[in-house]
A and B are shown apart, each in its own frame.
Chain A
Amino acid sequence: MLAISLRLIGARIRSQMQYKTSFWLDLVGTAVSTGMEFVVLFLLLQRFTLIGGWRLHEIGLLYGLTSVSFGLAEMIGRGFDSPFERLIQHGDFDRVLTRPLSSFVQVLASEVQLRRLGRAVQGAGVLIFSLAQVEAFWTPVLLLLLLLSILSGALIYVGLIVIGATICFWTIKTPEVINVFTFGGQQLTSLPLSIYDRWIRAVFLSIAPVAFASYPAALVILGRSDPHGLPAWIAWCAPVVASVFFAAVLGFWQIGVRRYQSTGT
């Protein structure tokens, strides 16, 4: 099953690489337009110096972590985004169900979008720029933590996109509110979690736990402590949180698929 899905994804990517100019323009366009968020933070910090006590490169670390994980998720989970909505609206999901491969894998493999990598590339640039200014960073342990946080974050973001898609089984439309957790969550967790009210911190650490992509890891890497008493070791829980969250999402997806009634068009 894994082999089949990898081949499907490979074919997707090869077909996208056929139009090279268009591919690079898209990639650069996405990188520049999403990078604007960091330009704004940069300009604000020129005026204000600190956000909640964090300096530019520390904010850059948070920003880089969230952007890389969200960028990866946008690329991987594209099939569950608007293409999936069309699939449901046109009744084409029927065809997916007739094939001897899990519907989840098929939808995933149908639309992996390499050009969406623009956000991740831009975020990686900011991340490296920021890490270069953290002296104590380059140890294997912290490198591992960084990697785990990014992958966990990406998994959680994909999970959120899948939740949006699953709701389609009932409503035929992905609710816009899901953007608050994906795009909104990415922007929110680009800043130190400590600056937000209690309920916001709680939501983004539990219900939509995207904060695990950046904040706890940044606390450990920068040797900071959270003013509200969030323990730093929680950074190592990111993979567990992501797995539990994703397992729940898969369960929800299964319920949705069973609930599916074709639109018949």
Chain B
Amino acid sequence: MRLYYEIAIRSFRRATIYRSAYVAGILTNAFFGVLFSSMYRALYEGRERIAGLTLHDAISYVWLSQALIAIGAGWISWHMELERGIRTGDIVADLARPWNFYAFWLSRVLGERLFNLLVRGSLTYLIGILYFDALIPSIEALAAFAIAVLLSILISAALNFLVNITAFWLIDITGLVLVTNLTMGFFSGFLLPLAFFPPALAVIAQALPFQAITSIPVRTLLGQVRGADLALALTTQVCWAMALTGAALLALRAAMRKIVLQGG
């Protein structure tokens, strides 16, 4: 356990170095926050409530989903050089070490993403609060969010790993990344809140893991999921986290059996 903790801490520290990158990231997120807030203002035009959301809710939703980009809310990435490591074969050195490779990789992801959440995410949302009057969350909502966002990181990390590790079998994963990102951006509620989906699409979204990555933590912090709903939402997240992590571990086992090391 100690080992993984140290790996996470190092990954966290490493993320602090790229100062210009996260400043640029915050600016970009804030730009899109402004863009979509203006859009919702023009959409509501004095109307009180659409599909259960007020303008204030919609704007808070925009800023929070922008804030969570850095922890994987919008799309999966070619993460931590995993795919490149597989393609070039460099990964064998890490696979051969006496640790669980998935746990090692996850610790790095957790370290980096917690940093992103604390710095990039919170600053982005702060801009939303200051300039667009985004909702200031209650203490209870914040506590529930802490759990939901951690589960969200676990789910998105597992999904990232699953997609990237297919590089062991596929020659080129570009297509798979594209399809995953299309599905994820839409069905996670990142591009638009699930509340605005037509009923048929909303049903599909509820059945997929993506909403557990974005929609659930966002709605939790905004206080839209409470009591029994919250328990149900967190249970859903736990189930997806276990299922996808299990799948990631199985995929890793299968991959390990597939590799042949060529001594040199």
Centre residue among B27, B28, B43, B50 by max chain A CB count within 10 A? B43
Q: Is the beta-carbon distance between B185 and A36 smaller than 8 angstroms? A: yes
**Bound-state Cα–Cα, A200 to B35, Å:** 9
What residues of chain A lie closer than 8 Å to B175, measured between beta carbons?
25, 29
Contact of B191 among A40, A184, A192 (CB under 8 A): A40
Nearest 6 interchain pairs by C-beta: A52-B42, A195-B42, A176-B24, A48-B43, A180-B31, A40-B191
Question: Residue-by-residue, is A49-66 near B (CB-CB < 8 Å gives 1, otherwise 0)?
Answer: 011110000000000000
Total A-B contacts with CB atoms under 8 angstroms apart: 68
B192 near A40: Cβ-Cβ < 8 Å: yes
| Cβ B191 vs Cβ A36 within 8 A | yes
- The verdict on A101 contacting chain B, using a C-beta distance below 8 Å, is no
B41 CB within 8 Å of chain A = yes
- Cα distance, A115 to B25, chains bound together (Å): 28
Residue of A nearest to B53 (CB): A47
A51 touches B39 (CB 8 A): yes
Residue B178 at the A interface, CB < 8 A? yes
CB <8 Å contact, B43 and A51: yes
Least Cβ–Cβ distance between A59 and chain B, in angstroms: 10
Binding site for A on B (CB under 8 A): 21, 24-25, 27-28, 31-32, 34-35, 38-39, 41-45, 50-51, 175, 178, 181-182, 185-186, 191-192, 196-198
- A179 CA to B32 CA, complexed, in Å: 11
Residues of A within 8 A of B32 (CB): 184, 187
Q: In the complex, which range does the number of interface residues on chain A fall in?
A: 20 to 34
B191, A195: Cβ atoms under 8 Å? no
- A-side interface mostly: helix
Chain A residues with Cβ below 8 Å from B34 are 200
A191 — which chain B residues lie within 8 A by C-beta?
Answer: 38-39, 42
User: What are the residues of chain A within 8 A of B185 when measuring CB–CB?
Assistant: 36
As a 0/1 sequence over residues 178 to 193 of chain A, the CB contacts with chain B under 8 angstroms (1 = contact) are 0110001001100110
13 contacts between A and B (CB under 8 A): A29-B175, A32-B182, A33-B181, A36-B182, A36-B185, A39-B186, A50-B43, A50-B45, A53-B45, A177-B24, A177-B27, A184-B28, A195-B42
Set of chain A residues within 8 Å of B191, measured between Cβ atoms: 36, 40
- A40 contacts across to B, CB distance below 8 A: 186, 191-192
Question: In the assembled complex, which residues on chain B have CB atoms less than 8 Å from the CB atom of A32?
Answer: 182
